[in-house]
Structure 1
Amino acid sequence: MIRKSRTASQLQDEVSRRIHRLPDIVEEGVKIRVPRPQLQEPDATGCNWDMKHFGNLAGYARDVAAIVAAVRKEFNLSTETKDLGGLFDDASP
């Protein structure tokens, strides 16, 4: 399966969205802090990112790990940088 590329913010938002839709988390009103994904060398599956150090994870580690694994199968972290179009160039008028 070919992974789609997403920015760090998009991956963080996607993982957060999926976590906070879990019935137990909704029912208990738990807010889990989702860290930004960290770029890494592609692993055996080809995924180039991972997430560690979630906040307020007590009791939900297994569910969160399953969500991260699912998102890792779907998406890679984009490594492209945007060209700011000379925003900081020293252009004289």
Structure 2
Amino acid sequence: MIRKTLNASQLQQEVNRRIHRLQEIVEDGVKIRVPRPQLQEPDKTGCNWNMTNFGNAIGFERDIDAVLKAVRSEYNLSTEVKGSVNPFED
């Protein structure tokens, strides 16, 4: 399966959205802090990012791992660096 590419903010938002839609987390009213994805060498599946150190996640590790596995199978982290544009350049 070919992965779509997202930037770090988009990946963080997607993982956050999926985690906070989980029934157990909604029922418990827990707010989990989702870290920014970290670029890494592609692993054996071809995924080039990972996330660690979720905040307020005790007891929800298995649920978070499942979400992370699903998102990592669908998306890669964009490695493009956008240059700053100077509007005053001639």
Q: Same fold, TM exceeding 0.5?
A: yes
Shorter chain as denominator, the TM-score bin is over 0.9
2 CA distance for matches of 1:35 and 1:48?
16
After TM superposition, list the pairs within 5 Å mapping 1:8-87 onto structure 2. Answer: 8-85=8-85, 87=86
Q: TM-score, normalised by structure 2?
A: 0.94
The percent identity for this pair of structures is: 64
Would you say how many aligned residue pairs link Structure 1 and Structure 2? 90
Deviation at 1:82, TM superposition (A): 1.3
| Structure whose alpha-carbon radius of gyration is higher | 1
| Structure 1 portions without partners, runs of 5+ | none
Tell me how large the CA RMSD over aligned residues is. 1.6
Q: Please identify runs of 4+ aligned residues in structure 1 that moved more than 6 A.
A: none
Q: TM-score, normalised by structure 1?
A: 0.91
Partner-residue secondary structure (3-state), 2:13 = helix
Deviation at 1:88, TM superposition (A): 8.5
